[in-house]
Amino acid sequence: MTLGSSHTPPIRAVDLFCGVGGLTHGLTRGGIDVVAGYDLDRTCKYAFEANNKAIFVEKDVAELTAAEIGDRLGDHAITLVAGCAPCQPFSTYSRTGRADRSSEDWSLVANFGRLVQDVQPDLVTMENVPALQDHPVFKEFIQALEGYAVTYRIVQCATIGVPQTRKRLVLVGSKLGGVAPSLDWPAGDKVTVRQAIATLPALQAGERSDNDPIHLACRLSEINLRRIRASRPGGTWREWPVELRATCHRKVTGDTFPAVYGRMEWDQPAPTMTTQCFGYGNGRFGHPEQDRAITLRESAILQTFPNDYQFVNKGDRVKFSHLGRLIGNAVPVRLGEKIAQTLRSHVDAVICSRN
């Protein structure tokens, strides 16, 4: 698009691999008009559309064409293609069998690059796990952005207002003005677990809030109840009486997993939210004070979804493993908002330089 107005034109976007809408919601809060989200998982549709004005399109991104995206974006605004290809192949939580994975593991990132090449939006942004930058597919993605001024960096989300220590690779590119949008984000005050979730109603393990279907805590076995009662915030299972330790932790190799069966600390950010963050034994996901793991709602808030973000339709059954996966895989809303602010500032700067 040709820039010549003294007023910032709208930025219209599509979100690839949109999931339940974390990136879309953040971009929208940052002033970008997201018109559509694409994802192969139809179970994301309710949450995506219930909380965002964009439409959900159930489609494999590998089968998506430039013409389809172009029809959504139109030609009356600055255009943006955004997204986060599913990151399990690169995740440190998914190491088993990595050497045996086929090239299909990397095809989602390649298809993202293909669509940017074909659509030629004014702006592009991608968010993913840090390990992606060391893989050949990332270099190929950068090559697909020929004609764009591109920058990328590893962002510690705790420095931008996300109450968890989550590191993400953020890339932004622009065809406007010959310079890349700046990712030189100054570190702000950290948001703590206390600030994020302390006001939610107290629950016991296995209990659900009457007013919120996803403020729901997993049940704990008797041995795990004893373990969490023996745990202090920020401590490890090494501090437990020997009889409470799991068999695997009594072995020498068990020493390499000190953070499992841990409690979070009130006055620190939470650990990285994973797809299993609702389980006490899956990491440091014990509530700082209550004898239970964090709830699905608490994990969503720690991902900076609004407290009232709707994930399930009224009356639908809540499945921990399913909803935990959708929440854990989401782009933190605050990160999406920060990216939107960066892109809008970039567009403003380009317009000012041309006037």
- Quick one: which H or E segment has residue 173? strand 167-174
What one-letter code names the amino acid at 344?
R
Q: Angle, nearest 10°, between helix axes 136-144 and 107-119?
A: 10
Output the six-digit token pair for 101. Answer: 């994975």
Nearest to 217 by CA among 197, 233, 191, 196: 197
Give the residues across from 78 on adjacent strands.
11
> Which one of 18, 44, 87, 218 is the catalytic residue?
87
Q: Which two tokens stand for residue 277?
A: 């963050």
Find residue 128's DSSP bridge partners. Answer: 169
Alpha-helix residue ranges (DSSP H) falling in the chain: 22-29, 45-51, 66-73, 107-119, 136-144, 193-197, 222-229, 296-302, 320-328, 333-354
State the residue for tokens 């590119």: 173
Question: Tokens 């986060």, residue?
Answer: 84
Question: Is-catalytic flag, 277?
Answer: no
Q: Which residues participate in catalysis according to the annotation?
A: 87
